[in-house]
Chain A
Amino acid sequence: MQRSIFVRALWWKEYRQTRVLLWLMMIAGFFSTAYLHMREVWFASPQVIVGLVEYLAKTQETNWLLHRNYGGFMLLLVLGGFLLSLWQLGHERRNQMSEQTFALPYPRWVIYVTKWLVSVAYIVFVVTASVALDILVLKLSQVGAYVHVIDFIGRGFHIIFVTVAAYTFTLFIGSFTGTWTLQAALSIISLFLYEFFTLMLQQLLYIFMITPIYMELRLRGTFWEKFNLTNWVFHEGGNYPYAFVGVVSLLLFIAGMVLYSRNSLENNGKLVLFPIIEKLFIVGFVLCAALFSGNLSYDTLYPGRLGYAAGAGLGTIIGYIIIRTLTRMRVRT
């Protein structure tokens, strides 16, 4: 049977469901780009504007025009992408909405691809419109002669790349979680997971004298550092790992598509939809609880191996009880 990847009805549904977020992203984009420049180069006092022009003429440093590389704009867009993924997958698991979606005459992978494409279209549209408007604002001002459009285009591409990568990550999490709350929680936790493990493992190695106190975990440039979602968004300096993030995002996109295609909707409302992933989730949770409790016990109760081991043991038990209770619960859908 002939299958099309572009299904108008699915695009309409996704747009109708998430259009509020598109407009919110547009507003956020305007206030974090063009509006800031309008205040500086249109509405500021003539002395300030003249000062700016003189500074630019003297130093030729036009980079500040990008407003610290549009950092705030990018963060707002990443937040928008995160909310989009929650709305598209987590929220749809409530109120029989995913049942309605799966009853439609389209393959599930096409539904997932459409969700992704609609969000990518939003991100591209918002970045393009915001950056174009910002360029226009600057070009029409007295600093117009110093605006290099190519810098803005380059930055725009970077923002699109980062936002799409972060969105793909959170959408992937939604492909196997049964509630929007866990999708949100796991997405947020994954921002801190790398730092958490680095800190906890370093302490563990130190306490058990496996490495001397002065030796740090050498993770710079490794897979684990690159795999860190925080690094994807907040990467500083040059050498952004485009190839790595691109490949990982592509793999996450494919994995999300496969998992979504195999979603068992009867498990909606549970923490995790797949029994095997649920087991991994339990192991991960218990491990984190053990490391954290061991560390806490070492720092506050007894600064020795025994203190650490006792804390880790207790953390394992409490962590297991908590996660088993949570995984047995079912949120009403």
Chain B
Amino acid sequence: MMQVEAIHKAIDGRPILRGISFTIEPGRIMGLVGRNGTGKTTLMRTLVGIYDPDQGSVAFEGMDIHKYPELKRDVVFVPDAPVALEAYTIRECAAWYGQIYPSFDLFYFTEAMERFKLPMNKRVRTLSKGMKMLFSTALGLSTKARLILFDEPTNGVDAVTKKQLLSLIVESLRKDSSILISSHMLNELDRIADTVVLLRDGRTDETWDLEQLRQHMKKLQVVFTATEPPAWLAREDVFVLQQVGRVYTVMLESDEAFTALKREEPMFIDELPLSLEDWFMWKSGGDGDAA
């Protein structure tokens, strides 16, 4: 659906994106994770043609989105706050989007507004942060565009609204559509994303299919007999998430590592549920800062 090829982008002479490449497939929810300042928002803005890349290309169905802006009828960007729409009423926004996006579903939008008890004649600026995000998410989804990009949709919203937001997003996914979400909230992506792209130093470090990730990786709690940490812990495919005395919480990237662990004959091995946050902590440099 969308092919991102070696995107480079510098802002104020500082390289932000340094060779981003990945593909978005239809029928999938893709998560975009990375620490603060890794260029998630810059990347999203480049994908929808707000920023022009210095190098590389963004193709939607094989056509360059920067050369053919008409393609954006099917590629919609939902920013982290609907600041640009604040002067309008909800009804005006819906009418305007109806003019822009040919597949705009007014019925879906009105129903969503009723569901969240948002009056149509209310100005966007008078809504609370959570309401604004519910409104802009519903507005973006109502376009029925084939690719919708959400920039931190749950940032700063309460737990109830977050749940409503995420269910709205997941429910809207069709076979021929895709959703790209950048989020700090890894536990949320863990629940809804099919694929995750990790941004590090402006590069797409890794792209993981979460299903494969779970099959591929293991999170274990291990207690070794010896007081000294074994050499096994220094393997490249092993990452120590936590250590309390002789109790280690580790992540393993290969079956060989698990076989090698068994050879060490530890006192105790317990498999723990793997979360995206664990994987992110490993891949983002290990200090566990939020994405």
Contact = CB atoms under 8 A, between A and B. Distances in A.
Contacts, number: 62
A264 B48 CA distance: 14
A266 B72 contact: no
B100 A105 contact: yes
Interface in A65-113: 95-97, 99-108
B82 to A, nearest CB: 9
B129 to A, nearest CB: 15
A265 B84 CA distance: 15
A12 interface: yes
Interface string A236-257: 0000000000000000000000
B48 A96 contact: no
Given A9-B96, A9-B99, A105-B73, A97 B51 contact: no
Contacts of A265: 45, 50-51
Nearest to B74: A105
A9 B100 CA distance: 6
B50 A99 contact: yes
B68 interface: yes
Interface in A102-127: 102-108
Given A3-B70, A9-B100, A12-B96, A103 B83 contact: no
A97 B11 CA distance: 19
A106 B84 contact: no
Contact of B84 (A1, A8, A9, A96): A96
A99 B79 contact: yes
Interface residues of A, number: 24
A117 B86 CA distance: 25
A16 interface: yes
B49 interface: yes
Contact of A105 (B69, B79, B85, B96): B69
A1 B45 CA distance: 23
Contacts of B49: 102-103
A102 B84 CA distance: 12
A190 B133 CA distance: 43
18 contacts: A13-B96, A16-B92, A96-B79, A99-B50, A100-B79, A100-B84, A101-B84, A103-B77, A104-B72, A104-B100, A105-B69, A105-B71, A105-B101, A107-B69, A264-B52, A265-B45, A266-B11, A266-B12
Interface of A: 1, 3, 8-9, 12-13, 16-17, 95-97, 99-108, 264-266
Interface of B: 11-12, 42, 45, 48-52, 68-73, 76-77, 79, 83-88, 92, 96, 99-101
Given A1-B70, A96-B84, A265-B50, 13 more contacts: A1-B68, A9-B99, A9-B100, A95-B84, A95-B86, A97-B83, A99-B50, A100-B84, A102-B49, A102-B50, A103-B77, A105-B70, A107-B69
